[in-house]
Amino acid sequence: MSVSPLEDRYKTEMNAIFEKQAHLSAWMKVEVALAKAHAKLGHIPKEAPADIEQAAEKVTIEEVERIEAEIHHDLMAMVKVLTSKCKKYGGFVHYGATSYDIEDTATALVFRDAISLIEQRIDELKSILKKLALANKKLVCVGRTHGQHAVPLTYGMKFAVYYCELQRHEERLKEAKRRISVGKMSGATGTMATFGRSGERVQELVMKELNLEGAKITNQVIQRDRHAEVMAVLALIACTLEKMAKEIRNMQRPEIGELSEPYESKQVGSSTMPHKRNPHKSERICSLARILRANVLVALENISLEHERDLTNSANERYIFPSSFITLDYMLKQTQYILWGLQINKEQISHNLELTKGLFLAERVMITLTKKGMGRQEAHELVRVCSQEAYSKGIHLQKVLEANKECKKLLSLHELKELFDPSTYIGQAEKLVEKSVKE
C-alpha cells in the first residue's frame, strides 16, 4: 500500500525518472564511465569496462537493499553487489572514487532528464496559452486592481501575461539545467589524490562519456547552490501556475462568474450540497505550490554544509528532489487540462462591465477633459467628485457628468456617450497580445 500521494494520486511520467531502479541505473552509468576512463589511461585492463558493464545489467534493487540493511551504506552496497556480479575484473569497480563522485554525478543525470520533461510540459502549456490569448485578444473585460474594478483590458492580455511569464521560466530553467549538468570525480575532499597526476584527465573522460561538464573544483560534494537554484526555478514555475489557478478560482465565484474550470458530467462538488461546482482542481494547484516553495528553504539550508561536507543534506534530498519534480509535473499537466476545458462566460463578462455604472471609465473622462484644455489635477478632482456622487446615488457616471456645468463646456452629449464604450478604451491590447506570443 502506498503512503505518499506521489505514488498514486499525483503520479506522472516523472516518477519513472526518480524511482529506485532509475537511480540505480544512473549509478551504474557512472561506475561504467569511470572504468572506461581508467582503461583508456591504462590504469586497469582494457577488458575490465566490458566486464563491469555486463555485470551492471545484473544488479537488482533487492540485492542492493539486502546488503545495505547489513552495512548501512546504500552506495557501498551497490559497489559490493556490482563487484560480485563481475566475472573477472570486479576488483576495479569504484576504483579511486568516493561515494559522492558517483552519487552527485548520477544526480546530475537524473536532474537533466527531469528538467527535460518539465521543459516539454511548459512548451505544451505555452501552446495552449497562445491559442487562448489570440482567440480572446478582443474580448473586453473589466480590469481589477486591489479587488476593485479598474479600467478595461482583454482576456487575451491575461493569457499573454501568463505566456510571457512561462517563457521567462524556460530561460531560467535552461540556465539552471546547464549549471546542474555537472559531475565530479575528485575524491574524498576534492583533491583527486586517489587518481594521482591523472585526476583531471579521469574526470574529463568520465564526464565526456556521460555528456556532462566536470566541476572546476569541489570538496567531497558538488556544491549545493546548483541544486538550490533548480529547486528555486521549479518553485517559480509553481507560483505562476498558482497565479493562473487563483485567477480562475476567483473568476469562478458566482458573484463574478466569468470563468469556470472544466466540470465533467458525473463530477461531484460536495457530499452534502448537490449544486456545488467547486474549482477544486485550481485549488489543488494552489495547495501544491506551497510544497515547492517550502522545499526551496530546505535546499537553501543544504548549501552551508560543514567543512568539506557533512551528511545533513543527504536525507532531505531524498524527499525534496523527487517531491518537487513530480509535484510540479503533476501541476503542469493539471493546468493544461484546466485551460483546455476552460469555460469563458462572455455574457457574464459583458454584464460585469456595467456593474459600476461607468465608474471604471472615469480615467478616460479625466484624460479627455485634460486634452480639451482642463488642467490634469482639476480634471481629476472634477471626475472624482462626480464619481462619488454617482456611487452614492446609484446612478450612471455619464448622467452625473451630463449635468456638470464644467464638463458640459468641454464635452458634448455624443462625446460623453462614446467615452463610456469600454470596447474603445483598450489601447494597444490587441497588438500587445500578438507581439507577446510571437516567437
Place of cell 456611487: 391
Give just the sign of the alpha carbon dihedral 134, 138, 139, 143.
Answer: positive
Task: Read off the C-alpha cell for 54.
Answer: 555486463
Q: CA-to-CA distance for 159 and 69, rounded, in angstroms?
A: 52
Q: CA-to-CA distance for 175 and 34, rounded, in angstroms?
A: 27
Q: CA-to-CA distance for 357 and 354, rounded, in angstroms?
A: 5
- AA letter at 338: I
Q: CA-to-CA distance for 356 and 393, rounded, in angstroms?
A: 12
Q: Taking a C-beta distance cutoff of 8 angstroms, is the pair 318, 6 a contact?
A: no
Task: Read off the C-alpha cell for 351.
Answer: 454584464
End-to-end CA distance of the chain: 46
Please tell me the pTM assigned to this model. 0.94
Q: CA-to-CA distance for 98 and 96, rounded, in angstroms?
A: 7
Q: CA-to-CA distance for 415 and 410, rounded, in angstroms?
A: 10
DSSP label at residue 215: P
Question: In sequence order, what are the residues at sequence separation of 6 or more whose Cβ sits closer than 8 angstroms to the Cβ of residue 286?
Answer: 242, 245, 246, 249
Task: Read off the C-alpha cell for 391.
Answer: 456611487
- 426 in helix, strand or coil? coil
Residue 273 buriedness (CB in 10 A; 0-12 / 13-18 / 19+): exposed
Other C-beta atoms closer than 10 Å to the C-beta of 217 total 9
| Dihedral of the alpha carbons of 353, 359, 363, 367, in degrees to the nearest 10 | 110
Q: CA-to-CA distance for 73 and 314, rounded, in angstroms?
A: 12
Closest CA to 52 of 104, 94, 24, 20: 94
Question: In sequence order, what are the residues at sequence separation of 6 or more whose Cβ sits closer than 8 angstroms to the Cβ of residue 55?
Answer: 82, 85, 86, 87, 90, 93
Q: Phi and psi (nearest 5°) for 223?
A: -65, 140
Angle between helices 99-135 and 155-180 (to 10 degrees): 160
Give all domains of the chain, ordered by start, each with its CATH number: 15-95 (1.10.275.10), 98-261+277-354+431-439 (1.20.200.10), 359-419 (1.10.40.30)
Q: CA-to-CA distance for 53 and 412, rounded, in angstroms?
A: 87
From first to last of its 439 residues, what are the pLDDT tens digits of the chain?
Answer: 678 898 999 999 999 999 999 999 999 999 999 999 999 999 999 999 999 999 999 999 999 999 999 999 999 999 999 999 999 999 999 999 999 999 999 999 999 999 999 999 999 999 999 999 999 999 999 999 999 999 999 999 999 999 999 999 999 999 999 999 999 999 999 999 999 999 999 999 999 999 999 999 999 999 999 999 999 999 999 999 999 999 999 999 999 999 999 877 677 766 667 776 788 999 999 999 999 999 999 999 999 999 999 999 999 999 999 999 999 999 999 999 999 999 999 999 999 999 999 999 999 999 999 999 999 999 999 999 999 999 999 999 999 999 999 999 999 999 999 999 999 999 999 999 999 999 7
Active site amino acids: 146, 270
Q: Taking a C-beta distance cutoff of 8 angstroms, is the pair 30, 206 a contact?
A: yes
Residue 359 buriedness (CB in 10 A; 0-12 / 13-18 / 19+): middle
Q: CA-to-CA distance for 245 and 332, rounded, in angstroms?
A: 11
Strands 213-214 and 182-183: parallel
Strands 148-154 and 182-183: unpaired
